[in-house]
Amino acid sequence: MLAEATPDITRTEPGLESLMVGYQQADAAAAAGLIRQVSPKLYRFLAGHSATRAWADDLLQECWLRIHRSRHTYRPGEPVLPWIYAIARHTRIDGFRRRRRIESHELAVERLPEPASPSHSRAAVPARDLSRFIDELPESQRDVLFMMKVSGMSLQEVAGATGSTIGAVKQKAHRAYEKLRQKLAETRPTGAAR
């Protein structure tokens, strides 16, 4: 039996658009509403490959700082999520480079870091949770699948957020589907019925 579908709150695009327009007009309630609505999934998106929760927290703050500084580049009437995720992707890429630079300069650490965010969430979610499987994909495929299946963005929107073409997004998604099929087959209990 197939799983029941649940509504995805971030797909209420008109809501996000009006919040974003309010944010541009310095409406405090709209800004707070946008932050509360988008931040949880943005946090999950940024935390995917982060080493520690503290790093993911920093990335989210950095991402909102960039969103705040570039809020004039959002054009009313256009979808909000591709705009936000494009900024988030760059924040994560820059954060990754920064972390690599820091790590290459640090030869020793006093103690091991706090457990990474993904494993933190893994304990709390069901074994077949989508985000857990997505985390095991290569980064480009993970981004595409996260945006499509967790944030509910269309192929066009994902193409915008990733700065690529719809064909390239489709190709990445299809490769990810194939990898997920393999992973699901590996995790399937032996003797499961066809």
Partner 1 sequence: MTCRQIDALLDEGRNRPASALPRAAADHLSACQRCRGLFELLEGPSTQFSLPPAVGAGIEKMVLRSLQPVSPMPSHWVFLLSFLGVFAVGILLGSTLVGAGGLQRMAAPPFLALSAILLAGGVLLSCSLSRQLTPGARHQMTPLLLAPLILAAFVVVAAVGLPWRWSSRFWVWGPACAGFGLLWSLLAALPLVWLARRGAVLRPAAAGASAGLLAGLVGAAVIHLGCLNVTAPHAALWHAAVPLTAALAGLLLGSHSRRRA
Contacts to partner 1 from residues 19-48, by CB under 8 A: 23-26, 28, 31-32, 35-36, 39-41, 43-44
190 part of the interface to partner 1, by CB under 8 A: no
- In Å, how far are 129, 182, 184, 190 from 178, measured between CA atoms? 17, 6, 10, 20
Three-state DSSP state, 152: coil
Q: Which stretch binds partner 1 (CB under 8 A): 58-66, 102-110, 135-143?
A: 58-66
- In Å, how far are 46, 98, 171, 180 from 39, measured between CA atoms? 10, 22, 28, 26
Among 13, 17, 52, 66, binds partner 1 (CB under 8 A): 66
Distance (Å, whole) CA 187 – CA 10? 30
192 part of the interface to partner 1, by CB under 8 A: yes
What is the Rg, in whole angstroms, of the alpha carbon atoms belonging to the chain?
18
The footprint of partner 1 on this chain (CB under 8 A) covers a number of residues equal to 81
Burial class (CB in 10 A: 0-12, 13-18, 19+), 5: exposed
Among 113, 114, 128, 136, binds partner 1 (CB under 8 A): 128
Shortest Cβ distance from residue 110 to partner 1 (Å)? 24
130 part of the interface to partner 1, by CB under 8 A: yes
Q: Which is nearer to partner 1, 51 or 180 (CB)?
A: 180
Q: Which is nearer to partner 1, 63 or 107 (CB)?
A: 63
One character per residue 69-108, x = contact with partner 1 (rule: CB under 8 A): xxxxxxxx-xx-xxxxxxx--x------------------
49 part of the interface to partner 1, by CB under 8 A: no
In degrees, rounded to 5, the angle at the alpha carbon of residue 11 between the alpha carbons of residues 170 and 141 is 30
Shortest Cβ distance from residue 33 to partner 1 (Å)? 10
Contact status, residue 11 vs residue 37, Cβ threshold 8 Å: no
Contact status, residue 144 vs residue 169, Cβ threshold 8 Å: yes
One character per residue 141-170, x = contact with partner 1 (rule: CB under 8 A): ----x--xxx-x-xxxx-xxx-xxx----x
127 part of the interface to partner 1, by CB under 8 A: no
Three-state DSSP state, 26: coil
Task: Count other C-beta atoms under 10 Å from residue 44's C-beta.
Answer: 20
